[in-house]
Each structure stands twice: as structure tokens, then as C-alpha cells.
Structure 1
Amino acid sequence: MSVTTSSAPSKDQIKRWRRYLADEIAEGQLYQELATRKTGEERQILLGLAEAEKRHQLHWRTLLGDHAEPMPRPSFYRTLLRWLAKIFGSVFVLALAQRAESDTPYVKETDATRRMAADEAIHEEVIRGLAARERERLSGNFRAAIFGANDGLVSNLALVLGIGATGVSQSIVLFSGIAGLLAGAMSMAAGEFVSVRSQDELLDAAKPTQVTLTAARHVDLNENELFLVYKARGMSDEDARHRALERIGVFNCDCNPTLSLDPAEEHVDEAESRDNARGAAISSFLFFSAGAIIPVLPYIFGLNGLPAIIWATVLVGLALLVTGGIVGVLSGASPFSRALRQLAIGWGAAAVTYILGLLFGTVLG
């Protein structure tokens, strides 16, 4: 159902409708851009969204009539989304598109239909689902990189400011910062390596083995523990008994196969596990180092005292805004609020160590 006006539209209405039309066109083009980078089901979903946007375009074109031309320009935000879609076509764009759909003005817009407002709410959920798929595809190395860089920024800024506040020489602060960089990066790398390897080993230890296939032909038909094997894996008494008899060769069981190992099932081998752990460790080392070097830069370039502290704080603040914004986009939250939160946490930790450094410097002085 479309909305009709009983009189000629006002200048304010024409301006507002043209903006809506431009944004609907931009959103449709965004979904088409994303669809070119997808295949199968995801491509069809995005093309379906693009088609739905055409219905909304038609609504505003009908209301505007001759005022629909020349073609209005979309908002900067929609233009930015389309540009990002051309370059990345990734989770970042989907997360931003999700926020764009959630900010629809149609809920309060009397010239829009209820169906249009409902469509936008549904579109948000569709994009949320697609973005969730993309988030799941993010590698552990990428997450380790983001959080490794953030840890390097905060920990080494706190160290540098705490040491610098004591009034020691520029060379001592510089060497302390480099030592903190190396120690933190090695600790992050070692922890990531052990974490990934331990997880792989725990998962591998929990996997059932092929022993039931090799040992079954030698067990006693009446006194055997195969029944207990499948009970331990979670099967019911009946399923476990049938599966045990099948392994012995009495008959083929049609019981629940999900708790029985397929002989063709692939296992993560030792080399692959080592590669995963090594990749996560290297990623953590490099990105922690990249973050930790930033507060040291002013001292590397010869600054000392308060100017060095100010420059280190500003540089780290900018980097924290970037990493916080990225985390916000990935989590589907507001990049701006997450960036400010990251900045507040980082500067807060640095402020505490700086005050402690001043106190120690006063006591030692």
C-alpha cells in the first residue's frame, strides 16, 4: 500500500523524499556489489535484498513524480558503504550495512508505509545473519592480530609513561620500552602457541579411535566391552548394543551413527596443528610489536621529558581509536563508542602508571 498526499508536497517533503530515494538506490547498489563477490545461497540472499530496495525506490519515485529528476545524491554514509563494498566486500561492510538498516527513519516517517518499516527491520536481521557467517570465518590469526596490537599499545604506553614520569634519562626510557616490547611480544607468542596447540591436543584426545574396527573380530561374542565403548560415547543401551554387534559382524545396524567414528573421517595431523599454532604465535608477536613500538617512537626520534610523553600518548590514542573501531565493527556495535571505550581504557591504564611513576620519582628524588 502506498502513501498518497492530498496536496502538492512541500519543499521539505521533496527534500526528504529525494534523500530517501537516493539512499534506497545506494543500498540496492551496495547489495549488488556484495553479491558479485559471493556465490550460491549468499549471492541469492543479497540479490533478493537489492530487489526489495527497488520496491522502496518506486514508492519515493511515485510520491516525487517529476521531482525525482535529476537523480539525487545519496548520503555520505551510503556512498562510503558502496565504496567499501567495491574494495573489501567483507564482514566490515556487512556490519556497517547492518547498522545502516537499523537506523531507518521509516518508523517515524508518516510518508512511508508500515510495510517499508517492517522491511527495513527484516533487512537488518538478514544482514545480521550474513555478517555472523563472515565473523565465524575470521581466522584466529586475525583476532590475535587485533587484540595483540591493542595489548602492545596499552601495556607499553603504561610502561613508558610510568618509567618516564620518574624523571630518568631518555636512554633508560627507550631501553625500557624496547625491553617491554620484546618481553611482551615473546610472552604473547608463547602463550598463543601453547593455547592453540593445547586446544588441538585436547580435541584430538577426545576423538574416538579406530580400535573398535581392529579389535572387534577378536572379542568374545558374549563377553565383550564394545557395548561399553558406545555407551561411553553417549549412545543409548539399545543403540550401543546394536553398534557393538555390528562391529563384530553379526548384522548391519541402522542406529544413530553420529557417535560412531567414520573410518574415512579425517583427523588434524601433527603438522597441521603445528602450522596453526606457529601462525597464531607469529601473528601475535608481530602485531604486539607493531602496537608496542608506537609509544617508543618519540624516544627513538630523540624526544625526552614531557614532549615525549605527550607525543606517545597522542600516537597511542589514535591507534587505540582505530583498533577500538575495528572491534566495534566486528562485534556489530557502534565503532565510535567502542573506539572511545578503547581509548578510555588505554589512557586510564597509562594515567595510573604515570601517577605511580611521579610518586616513585618524588620518593627516590
Structure 2
Amino acid sequence: MRHLERHRTQRVGWLRAAVLGANDGIVSTASLILGVAAAGATSANILVAGVAGLVAGAMSMAAGEYVSVSSQADTEHADLERERSELAAFPEHEHAELAAIYVRRGLDAELAAKVATQLTAHDALGAHGRDELGISDTLAARPVQAALASAATFSLGAVLPLLVVMLLPVSALMWAVSASSLVFLALLGSLAARVGGASVMTAAARVTFWGALAMALTAGVGALFGVSA
């Protein structure tokens, strides 16, 4: 019976995009709501601002993630094409280079040469991409996946403070949005840490601190301009 292992590194790509999207959705939307509320806006205006922030933020996250990861994918593709050319032009040099990598990892020279020979015969470009360039199918850049994950999780995160706006009166929004958003952020940090195998307390404290700082600064700016108006 074949034993299949699943490692946490297989989750790195989508987990990073998902956590970043949800975190930004909560922080940016909650901060926007607090800033507008602190300026003295009505409940309807606050809701409109929050929804606009959700749509704009989701599109911005998707576009930014797609462009960023596409650039990474382009770089990986260019490196692999260069490696393909070098394999065709200088096979002996590339074989020696691959064997040297295995020697540095602990194999003796004879075994390293045999391993390099067998891997080259099986999939030369794959071996060099993985062991020389650090490019593998598991960690390869996937622009569309990253963009969709960022947009979806941003929207999910942004909906949470918007629900508070829809359920509570304006007089209660400042404290309710702040407190609920910090709870959401702590839960998000804990979930991400658990999935990624990191410290739950550290991750929760980190996202909560920066979320609180962002909301406090935005509320301060809203209150300042509200008073000035």
C-alpha cells in the first residue's frame, strides 16, 4: 500500500494569498468604516463606503496578486528556458554541476555522479530546475489561483465588519466594529498558524496588533477631518 505524505509546504502558495486577502479585507474595511464613522457620517453613507471599499479592495488584491505572481512565473519560465539551452549546449558541464550539488548535500562523489546521471536521463530539466534553481511543481507560481484566492478571501474578510454596520446603530459602531474586527483578526491569525504549523499565539498577536494600529490611525484621521469640517 502506497503511503502518501502531505507536507505544509504544499499549502504555502494558496495559504499566503488567502491569509493576506482575508487580513486586508478585515483591516482595510474596518478601518474605512471607523474613519467614516468618526467623521460623523450616517449609517447609510458608512455602508456605501464599506461596500465600495470591499469591491475596490477585492479587485485591487486580485490584480496586484496576479501581476506579482505572474512576474514570478515569468522569471521562473525564463530561468528554465535558459537552463534548457545550457543543457543542450553544455551537457557535461551541467551534469558536473548537478553532481556537485549532491556532493554538497552529503553524497560521495561517485554516488553523486550516478544520481546526476540517472536524474538527467529521467528528467534533466526537472532535476536542474528543482535542485539548482529551487523551482518545483509544488512551489511554482500560479497567478490565477493566487488572484482568485486573494479576491475571494478579501471579500470574505470585508463582509465581517460590514455585517456589524448593518446590524447595529451608528452610535455603537465605533466600539463594535473595533472589537469584532480584532476578534476576527485573532481568529484568522490562529487559523493560519494552525494550518501552517506555526505558533498560534504569536500569529494572533501579530495580526491583532497591526490591525488595531491601522484602525486607530484611520479613526483618528476621520475624527480630525470631521471636526475640521
User: What TM-score does the superposition give when structure 2 sets the normalisation length?
Assistant: 0.72
The structural deviation recorded for 1:173 is 1.3
Q: Distance in 2 between matches of 1:321 and 1:286?
A: 19
Whether 2:133 is the aligned partner of 1:284: answer: no
State the match for 2:107 in structure 1: none
Q: Which residue identity does 1:294 align to in structure 2?
A: L
More helix by share: 2
The structural deviation recorded for 1:310 is 2.4
State the match for 1:305 in structure 2: 170
State the match for 1:341 in structure 2: 206
Misfit runs of 4+, over 6 Å: none
Contact 1:210 1:261 in 2 (8 A): no
The structural deviation recorded for 1:277 is 1.7
Whether 2:191 is the aligned partner of 1:318: answer: no
Q: Which residue identity does 1:193 align to in structure 2?
A: Y
Q: Which of 61, 69, 86 lines up with 1:188 in the alignment?
A: 61
State the match for 1:356 in structure 2: 221
The structural deviation recorded for 1:176 is 1.1
Q: Distance in 2 between matches of 1:141 and 1:338?
A: 17
Unaligned runs of 5+ in 1: 1-37, 43-132, 214-225, 240-253, 269-274
Q: Which residue identity does 1:157 align to in structure 2?
A: A
Q: Which residue identity does 2:22 align to in structure 1?
A: A
Label 1:306 to 1:347 Cα distance change in 2 as closer, same or farther (>3 A): farther
| CA deviations over 1:225-269 (Å, ceiling 9, x no partner) | x46x976x6967xx9xxxxxxxxxxxxxx89958x976855779x
Q: Distance in 2 between matches of 1:212 and 1:141?
A: 32
SS of 1:293's partner is helix
SS of 1:189's partner is helix
Contact 2:84 2:125 in 1 (8 A): no
Contact 1:294 1:312 in 2 (8 A): no
Q: Which residue identity does 2:152 align to in structure 1?
A: L
The structural deviation recorded for 1:315 is 2.3
The structural deviation recorded for 1:299 is 2.6
Whether 2:62 is the aligned partner of 1:197: answer: no
Q: Distance in 2 between matches of 1:309 and 1:39?
A: 55
Contact 2:95 2:120 in 1 (8 A): no
User: What TM-score does the superposition give when structure 1 sets the normalisation length?
Assistant: 0.47
Q: Distance in 1 between matches of 2:193 and 2:50?
A: 29
The structure showing larger relative contact order (alpha-carbon pairs under 8 Å, at least 6 residues apart) is 2
The size of the alignment, in residue pairs, is 199
Q: Which residue identity does 1:144 align to in structure 2?
A: A
